[in-house]
Amino acid sequence: MNLKTSKIISLPKILDSRGSLSFFENSNQIPFDIKRTYWIYDVPGGVTRGGHAFKNSHEFIISLSGSFDVILNDGKKELKFSLNRSYYGLYVPSMFWRSLENFATNSLALIVSSVPYDDTDYIRDFEKFKILRNEAKK
């Protein structure tokens, strides 16, 4: 398995007297072809979303409004990214356990994925994830 690295990706920001505009294009700013877009909103205080990994799909996560944290685990260590601006986002490759938490009221998380929705791509058991991930590193 070819394991990739998570990273913050800055997006273009076009600012003039009318306000700001940012964008990304298929495989231009982000390192995969976009097959699906979804968004998470109306998250009650204290709730954690996610809590799973994907075998194959890659994602790019942006906070379009408000703020939240993305916690990534690579099977050994944990990394926390705070997303709170709409001109950058987090690239999450396959085989990272990821959770979204600490949502501020009225936050809007936009997520683009490299695959159409596929329940069989999910790993929902953290212990199973750690075994698969650490085997893939060998």
Where along the sequence are the contacts to ligand TYD (CB under 6 A)? Answer: 36, 38, 40, 49-50, 117
- Please write down the long-range contacts of 40-48, taking CB distance under 8 Å and 24 or more positions apart: 40/100, 40/108, 40/109, 40/111, 41/106, 41/107, 41/108, 41/109, 43/68, 43/103, 43/107, 45/103, 45/105, 47/101, 47/103, 48/99, 48/100, 48/101
Q: How far is the CB of 118 from ligand TYD (least distance, A)?
A: 9
Between residues 23 and 117, which has the closer beta carbon with respect to ligand TYD?
A: 117
Between residues 23 and 38, which has the closer beta carbon with respect to ligand TYD?
A: 38
Q: How far is the CB of 117 from ligand TYD (least distance, A)?
A: 4
Q: How far is the CB of 115 from ligand TYD (least distance, A)?
A: 9
Between residues 119 and 127, which has the closer beta carbon with respect to ligand TYD?
A: 119
Is 52 part of the annotated catalytic residue set?
Answer: yes
Q: How far is the CB of 15 from ligand TYD (least distance, A)?
A: 31
Between residues 49 and 85, which has the closer beta carbon with respect to ligand TYD?
A: 49
Catalytic residue among 52, 55, 85, 130: 52
Question: Strand (E) positions, the chain?
Answer: 7-10, 13-16, 19-22, 36-40, 49-54, 59-65, 68-73, 78-83, 88-92, 97-101, 108-113, 122-123
The residues carrying an active-site annotation are 52
